[in-house]
Structure 1
């Protein structure tokens, strides 16, 4: 089996769409179809269900997991050789849902280790699991479970989550607001799957309610502006109050014991973790998160 065929298979398996995979890989779709057909012939089993929409079948999922691990080991070997040949500590690849909480730790890490190349990727937690298993990233910082059996994790920060309101809202500055009081309020929040939306849905579900979402966005700074403009309420961790101090929003507490954000750092086993990644792991896990920095 050729490496480029395996990489092409992974793209098709991830997208479950031949034309989109061909566009991403910059190859002709008929050529990509032939590559997949050759792989299936070599393995003696179909990898995709072609009845209707193209879907990875059970055999394909088993093969995908092995291919991801195999290519991950090859990439780890390539990086180890590069580090050994250069005599340096190499690079570290870090993924996160958002890099706002990492501004302080990353700045301090680069100041202490200017020789280390830091490569950043913004990924959703579901993408982090695949990226860790495939060794496409070394470390992941997530606000919700990544859920891969081959990784370890450490909780690095637990912080309260606050309700952001327009300055003239009736709940502005309140100590504790119940979820029932928020039942009819409009919310400006992130898309489903992201941590703020998952938290909002969980808080309301605990009381048998559904939030009234009037705007979905992926931009925290824009969300602050929309709240300030009076378009709705939102949820932000305590650190955001210092991140966007110039925005015209007010804050209120939410009366729910699980209205918190838990940041966890995830990594693959130590035997596969490069020296630079071990340095950053120690730096992030030892960082004083709650001292206002």
Structure 2
């Protein structure tokens, strides 16, 4: 069992597809297939269930993947730590975030403090963040939904109210607040399943024994105010969006009279992971820029 075999296995497990894994690894597909078969033979158990040309990680593969990702992440940490010790360049910080808007100020402060450090920022749903962290693809995840578990550490950065946005001519536009039960017959503009807006909407309605009627769903949350203003429906939006839009806001805002109607931004990292001096500075600046009372 060598390091290359483990990298190949990790890629195949991530994609559940030999060809896509080969594309990511930039090697020929037969090479990946032979490596996986050889690894399974060495371990004495199949790691994937196969049906024709389709493969799917089985229970043995899932258990093996947990340990492989932990081992490879530790090796990557060691490589970065030695590179920092050798003074090999200013380094890199990688962050996966559900929402990018509130990172702008943090990134500006970080680039001013460490101008030579490369920053790799990617937008990802919370379901992918755990994998990105466990495989050491990123140093931090900025999550708008709960992301906890063994091997993870976190700090709450922002807790903000979520409002209901309606078109200016909507019958509810003259109200200050509204209950979830009153919205049972309304059309909603929301994000796709997996994003925090949709998760919150589904949770609030489920608490009342209801299901929201979503008529528009997508991944472009920034388009939500314009779609609501166009009369397509109503929707949930965070306080930061209301502040950002200000007087230019094309929608009318109401308070949703519901318990726990807020969004929490949390910075998450792997427990015991090596964090470079640059990564430690990023975490400190994120806390200073976003946490109430920090300076």
Question: In 2 relative to 1, CA 266–166 (structure 1 residues): closer, same or farther, beyond 3 Å?
Answer: same
Aligned to 1:287, the other structure's residue is in SS state: helix
Correspondence 1:15-164 to 2 at 5 A: 15-51=15-51, 53-86=54-87, 90-164=91-165
Match of 1:267 in 2: 269
Question: So what's the TM-score if we normalise by structure 2?
Answer: 0.91
Deviations 1:124-173 (A, max 9, x none): 11211111111111111101122331110111111000111111112225
Aligned to 1:54, the other structure's residue is in SS state: strand
Match of 2:237 in 1: 236
* Inter-partner Cα distance in structure 1 for 2:83 and 2:257: 53
User: Which range is displaced more, 88-97 or 152-161?
Assistant: 88-97
Assess if the C-alpha contact under 8 Å between 1:173 and 1:251 holds in 2.
no
**Residues 1:279 and 2:278 aligned together:** no
* Inter-partner Cα distance in structure 1 for 2:174 and 2:80: 52
Q: Unpaired segments of 5 or more residues in structure 2?
A: none
* Inter-partner Cα distance in structure 2 for 1:278 and 1:151: 16
User: Which range is displaced more, 131-140 or 245-254?
Assistant: 245-254
Match of 2:8 in 1: 8
Q: Unpaired segments of 5 or more residues in structure 1?
A: none
Question: So what's the TM-score if we normalise by structure 1?
Answer: 0.92
Assess if the C-alpha contact under 8 Å between 1:13 and 1:56 holds in 2.
yes
* Inter-partner Cα distance in structure 1 for 2:156 and 2:148: 14
Assess if the C-alpha contact under 8 Å between 1:183 and 1:211 holds in 2.
yes
Deviation at 1:269, TM superposition (A): 2.4
Deviation at 1:57, TM superposition (A): 1.6
Residues paired across the two proteins, number: 291
Aligned to 1:253, the other structure's residue is in SS state: strand
* Inter-partner Cα distance in structure 1 for 2:7 and 2:195: 28
Deviation at 1:194, TM superposition (A): 0.7
* Inter-partner Cα distance in structure 1 for 2:271 and 2:232: 46
Question: In 2 relative to 1, CA 78–224 (structure 1 residues): closer, same or farther, beyond 3 Å?
Answer: same
Assess if the C-alpha contact under 8 Å between 2:158 and 2:290 holds in 1.
no
Assess if the C-alpha contact under 8 Å between 1:90 and 1:275 holds in 2.
no
Assess if the C-alpha contact under 8 Å between 2:77 and 2:273 holds in 1.
no
Deviations 1:168-190 (A, max 9, x none): 11222522111111111111100
* Inter-partner Cα distance in structure 1 for 2:292 and 2:232: 31
Aligned to 2:219, the other structure's residue is in SS state: coil
* Inter-partner Cα distance in structure 2 for 1:21 and 1:148: 28
Deviation at 1:277, TM superposition (A): 1.3
